[in-house]
Chain A
Amino acid sequence: MPWRPVYAVLEREVVRMFRQRTRLVAAMVRPLIWLFVIGAGFGAVLGQASGLSYQQFLVPGVLGMTMLFGAMLAALTVVYDKESGVMRMLIIAPFAHYWIVIGKMLAAALAAILQALLLLIVLALLGYVGQETRPGMLVLGLTATSLACAGIGMLVAAFTRTLDNFAAIMNFVIFPVFFLSGSLYPVNQLPPLLKAVALANPYTYGVDLLKHATLGVLPSGMGADFPLALDLTVLWGFTLAALIIASWRFSQESAYEPMIHILTGKRGG
């Protein structure tokens, strides 16, 4: 395994993340808005279900949201790298090209985990991390969910040529993945069609794993929806599949040669 190159990709991601302050601030503010504006609003309507406020219910959802956005934005830097020229440094380096995919995916997951940890600190200071939180399972939840989110991001990045359609990616990938999961409502109480979509969404199982870690299984149905083993199987399985598909895509001549043309800015020259 090319350790140093993979480390280089991770290090660059972290350096860039802390250098782009607005990206980091947005990653903290976005979930807090959900928690304190939407959470408070709906909480007032819904009241409490068996001692759990709607805001408390939202905590795993907003943790997941931070990782989803963080990993997606980091994975999409692959597209930025293609446009800016950094990808040239990577494709001429002496290792097989699938290591670029692995490195970028790990880097996106790392960025997501760091942002989630920052948010966790903020939430803990605000008193939203309860005593029922299980640290071991939280680590597992953050790791598995961030990798799955990075997988979604790499799949999108592998099939995207330019960042011009970033708004489309937001509208047709990130938002549906977020809304059609258990982040805002228990999956088991969704209407059948929405429930079917949520069950097909790998991110749903990441949020469920975070519910296991922060809420546990509650008799009211507001806690985790699925068994732990199912969550982990789906998340690891999806991550592996995404890695394989993105690597395959990256090694394709058809995906690869137009990239060379983007790199050199001309055709066949």
Chain B
Amino acid sequence: MNQAADSLLAVHASGLVKRYGQLVAVDGLDLDIPSGQFFGLLGPNGSGKTSTIHMLATLIRPSRGSARVAGHDVVHEAVKVRGAIGLVFQDSALDRTLTISENLRFAGLLYDLTPAVIRERSAELLELFGLADKSNRPVGSLSGGMRRALDIVRGMIHHPRILFLDEPTIGLDLPNRRNIWRFIERLRARTGMTVLLTTHYLEEADSCDRVAFIKSGKLVQSGPPQQLVESLGRHIVEIESRDIDSLSQRLASKLGPCLKDGEVAQFRYAEEDVTPLARLQGELGAQIKALRWRRPNLNDVFLWIAEGKI
């Protein structure tokens, strides 16, 4: 890859492999993330998302393959990579015995910032994250949502070019998740930095410029969220029946493969015109409890990929 193209890519990984003994956590992953993009790395638990992020953040060494982050090699220029990225872990990286401002001072000094710069940026970021009036409170006394917000402020104190967010809203309730997302959107609007996100909550990935689904350490599909959703079909048809197993087999010739959950089977439906579905509902009559259709969303993409059916 030439230098000019490299500088436009925030992350460029090729053939990344991470093995833990017998377990292959990441299995030949290729990933290109242009500068300024909001990128979502999605996949079921244990699919290799966190291992991937940790390799890109220089915390673990790839077993094979290579990666450049902010133009620097993650193995040979680890210190330069760490200087260019901010990292927010799944679990908090804060000292609970220190106050908010003491934590930010500690984090800022680790990035070789002067106390004056740390004060200025802390004030600015705490304002942005709604923590301005709490700077002298011990971190141990903050709520989970506030701690998460502070964790992101901590990851931003050195103005990184790329921010890694590993499940930033895990374990938070809905209002707090919304808050965190409002903060992240404000931050992106202000700095235009690259963000690499992993999350379980698929609706959070809707606002990504591009998402990639990984499964068993391999990239399965990637693209803009809307495009992936559309590739699934125009509708998701849900049929509910007491005898769903035999029914879904009979319907396979007409509707294709399905995902089953209890008494409900979901089929992908490619046509916009739903009159055949209404007709089918009539034909099936008492064999089914319900037949309904709706627009697909990113959750459906996730489920179909997780089940290995696309």
Contacts and interface: CB of A to CB of B under 8 A. Distances in A.
Interface of A: 2, 4-5, 7-8, 11-12, 15-16, 19-20, 84-86, 88-96, 253, 256-257, 260, 263-269
Contact of B102 (A15, A20, A90, A260): A15
Contact of A86 (B25, B93, B113): B93
| Of B57, B61, B89, most A-chain CB atoms within 10 Å | B89
B54 interface: yes
A12 B91 contact: no
B143 interface: no
Contacts of A253: 60-61
B106 interface: yes
Interface string B117-151: 00000000000000000000000000000000000
Interface residues of B, number: 43
Contacts of A260: 54, 59-60
| Of B79, B83, B96, most A-chain CB atoms within 10 Å | B79
The 10 closest A-B pairs by CB, nearest first: A8-B109, A88-B93, A94-B83, A93-B110, A268-B25, A94-B82, A269-B50, A85-B93, A4-B109, A5-B110
B106 A8 contact: yes
Q: Which secondary structure dominates chain A's binding surface?
A: helix
10 contacts: A12-B95, A85-B94, A86-B95, A88-B89, A92-B59, A93-B111, A264-B54, A264-B166, A265-B91, A267-B23
B93 to A, nearest CB: 4
B111 A94 contact: yes
Interface string B43-71: 00111111100100101110000000000
B87 interface: yes
Interface of B: 18, 20, 23, 25, 45-51, 54, 57, 59-61, 79-80, 82-83, 85, 87, 89-98, 102, 105-107, 109-113, 154, 166
Contacts of B23: 267-268
B51 A85 contact: no
| Of B45, B51, B112, B166, most A-chain CB atoms within 10 Å | B112
Nearest to A95: B79
A19 B96 CA distance: 12
Contacts of A89: 93-95, 106-107, 110, 154
Given A4-B109, A260-B59, A92 B87 contact: yes
A96 B94 CA distance: 20
A85 B91 contact: yes
A257 B21 CA distance: 12
Contacts of B80: 94
A265 B83 CA distance: 25
A6 to B, nearest CB: 9
A266 B54 CA distance: 13
B87 A263 contact: no
Contacts of B112: 2, 4-5, 94
A20 B82 CA distance: 32
Nearest to B198: A269
A8 B90 contact: no
Contacts of A5: 109-110, 112
Contacts of A93: 82, 110-111
A138 B26 CA distance: 56
A268 B19 CA distance: 9
A268 B80 CA distance: 25
A90 B154 CA distance: 12
A7 to B, nearest CB: 6
Given A89-B110, A260-B54, A96 B93 contact: no
A251 to B, nearest CB: 11
Contact of A257 (B50, B60, B82, B154): B60
| Of A19, A253, A269, most B-chain CB atoms within 10 Å | A269
Contacts of A85: 89, 91-94
Contacts of B18: 268
